[in-house]
């Protein structure tokens, strides 16, 4: 029976709860990232693709304004293609695709793509004709040839130099340890050799457009080198540095440092006093004159030191690398699917690079239309917070609140754009649930039936949790599931006592799909007085209570005993022999005769005392050791001479009754 129910449970869990096609907002799949296109021919084709239900239609924007199809620019609302048959620099700009569909007769959400920057590839006309510049230097000296009057190039051209012969043949100048071309196109001779002389030939600067695959030459130079008998030693001298050194975050920064001098200076780089070596972060080019810092992050910003050294001396220069950036996303808009009745929050959070000005408030749009965040539409439906960086849509309703939002944040360096569409679905609704607490006796039936509905576009699944164990595609022990009635229960009539005890506990039945979950809790408890469970459920807690009471009594007894001992400390112990000698009361005698100034003890005239007389000349009282001496109980020891040591019974003037005690002892 259990195997039968488990098999049918698996089928029930995977069964669709009346799943039908779900209306969804447009989701643009192309283009997905910002990009720049360089157009080198007449025809331009920009493609846009999106998915959604119903199938989206398309429109295009140029510089934020919707494009109306004409002979210059044509938009296909079905395919999403934008065509420009004859592109010129007039059509340069920022293009964005918009995809929209209809989820209700009056609800038309519009998703907007990232920006595509379209520019015409170009390279200026031939270099202007200018007179040849003549340069004359001595051998061993430094020389530089400037690249001037450079034509504009889109994208930026790369520089090189050629040595052009009068017949028109051209030979490219090879860079090496002594010859360097910097990022501005200047040709540096660290020191001159006679072979650098042009004679009748000319040095010409060249720019290269890699998209057009075209080279332009210009800025002619002639160079005369005067030989010398011996090249003089020249200390390094800075001839060029990258300034300002401003690079964008995530780019590769290239810092250049060119030193002249003879012998050839060697170049090393440092940051924060530590020498930089080649690694995954740093690379060197052109005999270390160019330092490349890969994949820039903000912590790469700082002071870099370029050091030039030869046998004539050492020179160094510091270059500050400024790592800048457009807005940096912290939390960008994204698509959300939220059950009706809840709130949805969209974030447009970005920051500037470290050390740079704070970013302005972002611009917000609904379905491509601008929102005034100071006075948003919807009568409180749309609420902005966190300085305009967060948009909360209150109390979602389907289909009225199905729409798309966009935000744009920018600074002087660049901008960031994001799109996020809001899909709303019906929530999980529990239509039938069992009592949350069920007390059962053996033979009872435990009701675990839970029935629910959800959005028709999603599959409602379930899992069980019982005694720290999760049951995904099976059932907890002894649970029966009826696939026809969707009832779940436990029949305890056929269970052993141990099995009955095993079904006691808390059951968690979780119903869920990818966007929501709901958990129903059922606690199963034994009825009081159930004999079958009573033996198994022995009240061990009573034993714990009894043990604790015993420990408490022992602690109280020990405390009383210790207090009694503490009270007895310091008290004088009187033995039974002394208690019987009622005539001894030294404390009372001391109290009665204190402070009396008696020089000596006068003996009373008593016939019974004639046996013990104290000579007047002897201050001590002689005792007959043959007689019992009850005062021995009060003394620590006796003097060897047979006389009592000083103490309570001394004949000292401070104790005038000492003789009386001795006399009474004799009588006794």
Complete DSSP assignment for 200-243: T-EEEEEEEETTTTEEEEEEEEEEEEE--SSPPPEEEEEEEE--
pLDDT at 485: 92
Q: What is the number of other CB atoms lying within 10 angstroms of the CB of residue 550?
A: 10
Question: Is the pTM value of this prediction over 0.75?
Answer: no
Specify the 3-state DSSP secondary structure of 248.
Answer: strand
Residue tagged 């934008």 (tokens)? 82
Q: What is the pLDDT of residues 91-119, one digit of tens each?
A: 999 999 999 999 877 889 999 999 999 99
Distance (Å) of CA 475 to CA 443, 469, 508: 20, 11, 12
Q: Are 211 and 38 in contact (CB under 8 A)?
A: yes
Q: Are 128 and 134 in contact (CB under 8 A)?
A: no
What DSSP string runs through 363-375? EEEETTEEE-TTS
Torsion of CA 206, 210, 212, 218, to 10 degrees: -10
pLDDT digits (tens, 9 = 90+) for 280-319: 999 999 999 999 999 999 999 999 999 999 999 999 999 9
Other beta carbons less than 10 A from residue 290's beta carbon: 20
Q: Which stretches in the chain have pLDDT values below 70?
A: 1-21, 529-540, 567-668
Do the strands 313-324 and 245-248 form a parallel or antiparallel pair, or are they unpaired? parallel
Measured between alpha carbons, how far is 519 from 509 in angstroms, rounded to an integer?
6
Q: Which residues touch 132 (CB under 8 Å, ≥6 apart)?
A: 202, 220, 221, 222
Q: What's the rounded Cα separation, in Å, for the pair 269 and 254?
A: 13
> Containing H/E element for 158?
strand 158-164
* pLDDT of amino acid 650: 37
Residue with the two structure tokens 């609704």? 429
Whether the Cβ atoms of residue 180 and residue 258 lie closer than 8 Å to each other? yes
Strands 451-453 and 487-491: unpaired
What is the per-residue pLDDT for 591? 61
651/666 Cα distance (integer angstroms): 16
Q: In angstroms, rounded to a whole number, what is the distance separating the alpha carbons of residues 342 and 337?
A: 11
């Amino acid at each position: 029976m259990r195997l039968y129910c488990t098999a049918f449970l698996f089928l029930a869990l995977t069964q669709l709860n009346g799943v039908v096609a779900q209306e969804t907002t447009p989701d643009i799949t192309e283009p997905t990232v910002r990009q720049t296109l360089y157009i080198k021919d007449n025809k331009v084709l920009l493609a846009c693709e999106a998915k959604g239900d119903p199938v989206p239609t398309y429109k295009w924007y140029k510089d934020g304004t919707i494009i109306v199809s004409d002979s210059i620019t044509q938009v296909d609302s079905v395919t999403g293609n934008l065509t420009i048959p004859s592109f010129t620099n007039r059509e340069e700009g920022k293009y964005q695709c918009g995809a929209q569909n209809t989820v209700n007769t009056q609800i038309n959400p519009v998703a907007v793509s990232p920006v595509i920057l379209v520019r015409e590839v170009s390279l200026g006309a031939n270099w202007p004709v200018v007179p040849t510049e003549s340069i004359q230097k001595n051998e061993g000296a430094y020389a530089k040839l400037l690249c001037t009057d450079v034509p504009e190039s889109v994208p930026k051209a790369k520089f090189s130099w050629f040595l052009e012969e009068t017949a028109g043949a051209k030979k490219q100048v090879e860079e090496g340890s002594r010859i360097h071309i910097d990022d501005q196109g200047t040709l540096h001779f660290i020191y001159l050799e006679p072979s650098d002389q042009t004679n009748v030939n000319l040095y010409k600067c060249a720019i290269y457009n890699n998209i057009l695959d075209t080279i332009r030459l210009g800025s002619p130079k002639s160079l005369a080198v005067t030989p010398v008998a011996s090249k003089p030693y020249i200390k390094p001298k800075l001839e060029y540095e990258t300034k300002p050194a401003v690079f964008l975050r995530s780019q590769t920064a290239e810092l250049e440092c060119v030193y002249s001098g003879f012998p050839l200076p060697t170049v090393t780089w440092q940051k924060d006093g530590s020498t930089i070596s080649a690694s995954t972060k740093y690379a060197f080019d052109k005999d270390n004159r160019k330092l490349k810092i890969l994949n820039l992050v903000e912590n790469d910003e700082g002071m870099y030191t370029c050091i030039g050294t030869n046998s004539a001396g050492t020179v160094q220069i510091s270059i500050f690398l400024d790592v800048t950036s457009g807005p940096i996303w912290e939390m960008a808009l994204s698509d959300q699917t939220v059950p009706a009745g809840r709130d949805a929050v969209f974030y447009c959070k970005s920051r500037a690079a470290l050390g740079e000005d704070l970013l302005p408030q972002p611009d917000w749009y609904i379905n491509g239309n601008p929102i005034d965040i100071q006075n948003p539409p919807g009568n409180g439906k749309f609420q902005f917070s966190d300085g305009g960086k967060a948009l909360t849509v209150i109390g979602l309703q389907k289909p009225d609140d199905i729409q798309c939002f966009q935000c744009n944040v920018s600074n002087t360096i660049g901008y960031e754009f994001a799109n996020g569409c809001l899909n709303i679905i019906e929530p999980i609704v529990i239509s039938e649930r069992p009592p949350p607490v069920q007390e059962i006796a053996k033979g009872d039936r435990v009701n675990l039936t839970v029935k629910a509905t959800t959005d028709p576009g999603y599959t409602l699944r379930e899992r069980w949790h019982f005694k720290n164990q999760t049951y995904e595609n099976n059932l907890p022990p002894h649970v029966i599931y009826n696939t026809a009635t969707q009832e779940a229960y436990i029949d305890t009539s056929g269970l052993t006592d141990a099995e009955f005890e095993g079904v006691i506990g808390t059951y968690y039945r979780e119903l869920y799909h990818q966007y929501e979950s709901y958990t129903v809790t059922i606690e199963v408890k034994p009825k009081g007085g159930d004999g079958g469970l009573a033996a198994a459920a022995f009240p061990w807690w009573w034993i714990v209570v009894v043990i604790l009471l015993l420990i408490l009594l022992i602690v109280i007894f020990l405390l009383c005993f210790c207090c009694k001992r503490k009270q007895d400390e310091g008290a004088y112990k009187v033995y039974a022999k002394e208690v019987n000698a009622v005539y001894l009361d030294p404390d009372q005698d001391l109290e009665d005769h204190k402070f009396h100034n008696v020089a000596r003890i006068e003996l009373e005239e008593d016939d019974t005392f004639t046996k013990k007389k104290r000579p007047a000349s002897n201050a001590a009282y002689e005792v007959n050791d043959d007689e019992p001496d009850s005062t021995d109980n009060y003394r620590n020891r006796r003097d060897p001479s047979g006389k009592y040591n000083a103490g309570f019974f001394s004949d000292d003037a401070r104790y005038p009754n000492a003789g009386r005690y001795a006399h009474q002892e004799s009588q006794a």
